[in-house]
């Protein structure tokens, strides 16, 4: 092969090598999984320093366990399932690979008909399904303030929707705060003075309990 041919081969090899390197770099960059946390004040981190909120603590927990993940705080204080439904389309931007849906607490506090809350959650899950975004649905447990029928319908909508859409369910946002018989003591120690929102220590326990489910969500992203 002459000099010209050798030069051409070298250039062609260099171009192929460059293209391969670019593809590898792109693949490496694509490994980061972006998770949006769609929720209310519990997700948003109401009353807490930014670093103590649910999203920063969950992101740190996941990274400590080797997950290449970036979390987006899509929590809005006071939001209901209706608010989540109104925001879901612009929350599901092209870079979002997975989504935690943690809504319904404010619906219960306002006595919203569970059928309405269920329809809103259904719309959120449908939007995620249409975009091929993986979802972890986080449930809430109602008290009996509005009667047994309301509680039954409210509590049931989460497992029923999770089954209908084939998405994993984390039973209750506050599950990590179960402390046996010391309910009153836990409320004082792990909650803010309003008795509704967890403090930083409470969030850490919530994250520790929910973390494995979120890690499974991240790992399910292809």
Q: What is the pLDDT of residues 2-60, one digit of tens each?
A: 443 443 343 343 444 444 444 444 444 458 999 999 999 999 999 999 999 999 999 99
Q: Which residues contact 11 (CB under 8 A, 6 or more apart)?
A: none
In this predicted structure, what is the pLDDT of residue 69? Answer: 98
In angstroms, the CA 177 to CA 205 distance is 6
* Token output for 44: 């948003």
* CA distances, 123 to each of 40, 54, 89 (Å): 17, 24, 10
In this predicted structure, what is the pLDDT of residue 178? Answer: 73
In this predicted structure, what is the pLDDT of residue 17? Answer: 40
Taken in order 146, 149, 150, 152, the sign of the CA dihedral is positive
Catalytic residue annotation: 41, 194, 197
In this predicted structure, what is the pLDDT of residue 222? Answer: 76
CATH 3.20.20.140 fits 32-219, yes or no: no
In this predicted structure, what is the pLDDT of residue 58? Answer: 98
* Token output for 165: 């859409």
Angle (CA) 170-83-78 rounded to 5° is 80
In this predicted structure, what is the pLDDT of residue 188? Answer: 75
CB-CB contact of 112 with 49 (8 Å): no
Q: Classify residue 14 as left (phi > 0), alpha (psi -120 to 50) or beta.
A: alpha
pTM score of the predicted model: 0.84
In this predicted structure, what is the pLDDT of residue 85? Answer: 98
Q: Classify residue 155 as left (phi > 0), alpha (psi -120 to 50) or beta.
A: alpha
pLDDT-flagged residues of the chain (< 50): 2-29, 181
In angstroms, the CA 108 to CA 79 distance is 12
Domain range summary for the chain, segments of one domain joined by +: 1-30, 32-219
In this predicted structure, what is the pLDDT of residue 107? Answer: 98
């Amino acid at each position: 092969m002459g000099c010209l041919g050798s030069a051409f081969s070298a250039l062609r090899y260099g171009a192929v090598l460059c293209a391969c390197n670019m593809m590898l770099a792109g693949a490496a960059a694509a490994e980061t999984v972006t998770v949006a946390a769609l929720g209310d004040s519990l997700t948003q981190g109401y009353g807490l320093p930014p670093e103590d909120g649910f999203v920063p603590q969950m992101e740190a927990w996941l990274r400590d366990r080797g997950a290449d993940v970036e979390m987006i705080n899509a929590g809005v204080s006071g939001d209901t399932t209706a608010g989540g439904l109104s925001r879901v389309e612009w929350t599901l931007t092209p870079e979002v690979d997975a989504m935690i849906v943690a809504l319904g607490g404010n619906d219960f506090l306002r006595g919203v008909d569970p059928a309405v809350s269920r329809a809103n959650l259904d719309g959120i899950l449908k939007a995620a399904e249409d975009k091929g975004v993986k979802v972890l649905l986080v449930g809430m447990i109602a008290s009996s303030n509005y009667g047994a029928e309301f509680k039954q319908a409210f509590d049931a909508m989460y497992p029923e929707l999770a089954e209908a859409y084939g998405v994993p369910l984390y039973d209750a946002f506050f599950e990590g705060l179960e402390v046996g018989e010391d309910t009153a003591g836990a409320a004082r120690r792990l909650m803010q003075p309003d008795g509704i929102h967890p403090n930083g220590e409470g969030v850490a326990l919530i994250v520790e309990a929910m973390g494995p489910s979120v890690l499974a969500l991240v790992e399910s992203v292809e």
